[in-house]
Amino acid sequence: MRRCTTWTSQLARASAVFLSTECLLRDKHRPSKSLPSKTTSCQQRPSCVAMTGDIFIDIVAPVKKLPMWDSDVEAESVKMLPGGSALNQGRHLHALGTRVRFFGAVGNDTLGQSLVQQVAGQGFPTETIKMFSNLPSSVCMVLSGPSDRAFVSCYSTTDAFTTRDLQEQADHLDGCTHFHLGGYFNMKGLQSRDFTEFVRSLKSRLSMTISMNTQCDAAGHWCGEGNHLEEFLPSVDLLFVNISEGEHLCSALCHEGDRSIHALCKRFPNTTVVVTQGEHGCTVYRHGMHAIYVPTKPAVRIVDATGCGDAFIAGFLSSWLAQSAAPNTDAEHKALIEACGRGHAVASVCLAREGACVEPVRPRDLE
């Protein structure tokens, strides 16, 4: 089940914020464009990172018990928060100083407009976020109890977003040297041959490096629609998973006896796999390379672990993308350790705050 996040504005205020955002976004109906032919070097510090993936509006209500049918329970509060793995990662990465162009979608409704106004007010670029005029925004309602949580989710706009929506804004990819996909299993519309070819074109024509995180597969298949992940992973340079996700992927994709992370790396030898292990740090794997374990420092303050994985990914990328190192060298080994350390530092700040990304982590927070 999808991990959900939290926001500072009250749900009751959402209906008041909807007319002023029309100038921020428009649903663009342009014919598909081919990718720009400009070639940039993936070994240079990227001028901009292209990101796509899931956007959710999270509605969070702490309750003492779950309601029964035809009954009512009292909530301590009701909060509405911008969520989705990809949006969290993009906002953190942008706040850390990396230029981001974010491609995703919300509905042209009060909730979607409210979310866009909130993140745009924090300085996050929203011009490449699409508004579907005929769909409600994807929403996750979270009933959070003392020992467990229950979710009710709508995947309307995450399901509807496809490769065509990326192609329609291909001119915005000019100048980007890295492409990141967040929340893969929440993006059914991108689990297709068209998206695989789109990403292959980014690598071959624009020399982009590619990264992704899977998120949890609510369907339990762990291969994507039509086993799409098997054809897509060879194009991925960096794969981020937690321990549970890594185990599920190994079980689904490694068909021989060995279903370890090492077997996954052997099957996809060009992919570097970063496995986050919560308070125990993280380990970096790649076929033919000794595993790199990087511990994390003990947390000074723990408030909410929600979204720490997204914060780690943003921190890792902010460091890794800024460095130039050839594969299988001492310089690369050092760069990976530094990227893990940066990821741990950003996640630690997130851990001391309520919500996954109410306020994105900035460099001053790491001082």
Structure pTM? Answer: 0.85
The mean pLDDT value for 132-147 works out to 90
Residue with tokens 């980014």: 202
State yes or no: pLDDT of 186 exceeds 50. yes
Look at residue 9 in the predicted model and tell me its pLDDT. Answer: 38
Superfamily name with CATH number, domain 40-53+85-102+162-366: Ribokinase (3.40.1190.20)
Is 23 a residue whose pLDDT tops 90? no
Q: What percent of the chain has pLDDT over 90?
A: 71
CB hemisphere CA count around 104 (13 angstroms): 38
pLDDT at 324: 82
Whole-angstrom distance, CA of residue 43 vs CA of residue 55: 30
Domain boundaries, the chain: 40-53+85-102+162-366
What is the per-residue pLDDT across 213-248, written as a single tens digit (0 to 9) for each?
999 998 899 999 999 999 999 999 999 999 999 999
Residue 255 corresponds to which tokens in the numbers above? 């068909």
Distance, in Å, from the CA atom of 126 to the CA atom of 20, rounded to the nearest integer, reads 14
Q: Which pLDDT does position 229 carry in this prediction?
A: 97
Has residue 75 got a pLDDT over 60? yes
3-state secondary structure of 222: coil
Can you give the pLDDT at residue 256?
76
**Residue that wins the pLDDT comparison between 267 and 142:** 267
Q: CB 208: neighbour CB atoms within 10 A? A: 24
| pLDDT surpasses 80 at 18 | no
pLDDT of res. 70: 93
pLDDT tens digit sequence for 258-312: 889 999 999 999 999 999 999 999 999 999 999 999 999 887 788 878 889 999 9
Predicted pLDDT of residue 36 = 45
> What does DSSP say about strands 139-144 and 56-62: parallel, antiparallel, or unpaired?
parallel
Where helices occur in 213-289 by DSSP H, the ranges are: 228-232, 243-253, 261-267
pLDDT score for 65: 87
What pLDDT does 287 receive?
Answer: 96
Compare 36 and 342 and report the one with higher pLDDT: 342
**What pLDDT shows up at residue 31?**
39
